[in-house]
Amino acid sequence: MKFLLAAMVGILIAGFMSPGASAEPLYPDQDPDPFFHAPADIGNFKPGDVVRVRRIDTFWYAGTEGYHVAFRSTNSAGNPIMGMTTVLMPIGVKNPPLVSYQAIINSLGVKCNPSRSLFNAELNDAPGMYLPTGRGWAISVPDHLGPTGAYGAAKLGGMVTLDSVRAVKQVSELGLSNVPVVLAGYSGGGMASAWAAAMQPTYAPELKIDGVVAGGIPADLEQMARGLGFAPHPGFGLAFAAAMGLEREYPDRLPITSQLNDNGLFLRSFMANECRRFLIFHGLFRSAEQLAARRDLMTSSAAMSVLRENSLRYFRDVPTVPIMIWHGIYDGLTPYDAVADVARRYCDNGANLLFAPYDISEHMTCAALGFPQAWNYIEARFRGEPAPTQC
Domain ranges of the chain: 4-14+20-221+309-382
Give the highest mean pLDDT range of 171-185, 229-243, 265-279: 171-185
User: Domain spanning 4-14+20-221+309-382 has what CATH number?
Assistant: 3.40.50.1820
Residue 39 DSSP code: P
Cα 279 to Cα 166: distance, rounded to the nearest angstrom? 33
Percent residues over pLDDT 70 in the chain: 90
Report the alpha-carbon angle 69-72-75, nearest 5.
125
Give yes or no for a contact between 254 and 246, defined as CB atoms under 8 angstroms apart: yes
Give yes or no for a contact between 69 and 171, defined as CB atoms under 8 angstroms apart: yes
Please say if the pLDDT value at position 9 is more than 70.
no
The pLDDT assigned to 11 comes to 38
**Coil/strand/helix, residue 363:** helix
How does pLDDT run across 28-62, given as a tens digit for each residue?
667 788 999 999 999 999 999 999 999 999 999 99
How does pLDDT run across 202-211, given as a tens digit for each residue?
999 999 999 9
* Residue 100 phi, psi (nearest 5): -90, 110
Q: Give Cα 146 to chain centroid, integer Å.
A: 9
CB under 8 Å to 320, separation ≥6 — which residues?
200, 201, 351
Give yes or no for a contact between 371 and 356, defined as CB atoms under 8 angstroms apart: no
Give residue 182's identity as a one-letter amino acid code. Answer: V
* Residue 52 phi, psi (nearest 5): -165, 160
HSE-CB for 6 with a 13 A CA cutoff = 23
Residue 46 DSSP code: P
String of DSSP letters for 310-349:
T-GGG------S-EEEEEETT-SSS-HHHHHHHHHHHHHT
* Residue 381 phi, psi (nearest 5): -65, -40
The pLDDT assigned to 32 comes to 83
β-partners of residue 286 are: 233
Report the alpha-carbon angle 342-343-346, nearest 5.
85
Q: From its phi and psi, is residue 152 left (phi > 0), alpha (psi between -120 and 50) or beta? A: left
> Pairing relation of β-strands 211-215 and 98-102?
unpaired
HSE-CB for 207 with a 13 A CA cutoff = 30
Report the alpha-carbon angle 339-315-44, nearest 5.
130
> Order of strands, edge to edge, in the sheet holding 181-186?
50-56, 64-74, 80-90, 138-142, 98-102, 181-186, 211-215, 323-328, 353-358
**Coil/strand/helix, residue 139:** strand
Local confidence band at 139 (pLDDT 50, 70, 90 cut-offs): very high
Local confidence band at 299 (pLDDT 50, 70, 90 cut-offs): low
String of DSSP letters for 195-249:
HHHHHHHHHSTT----EEEEES----HHHHHHT--SS-BTTHHHHHHHHHHHHHH
Burial of residue 229 (CB within 10 Å: 0-12, 13-18, 19+) is: exposed
**Coil/strand/helix, residue 299:** helix
> Pairing relation of β-strands 211-215 and 323-328?
parallel
How does pLDDT run across 83-118, given as a tens digit for each residue?
999 999 999 999 999 999 999 998 998 889 999 999
How does pLDDT run across 225-242, given as a tens digit for each residue?
776 556 777 778 877 888
How does pLDDT run across 323-367, given as a tens digit for each residue?
999 999 999 888 999 999 999 999 999 999 999 999 998 999 999
Enter the pTM of the model: 0.91
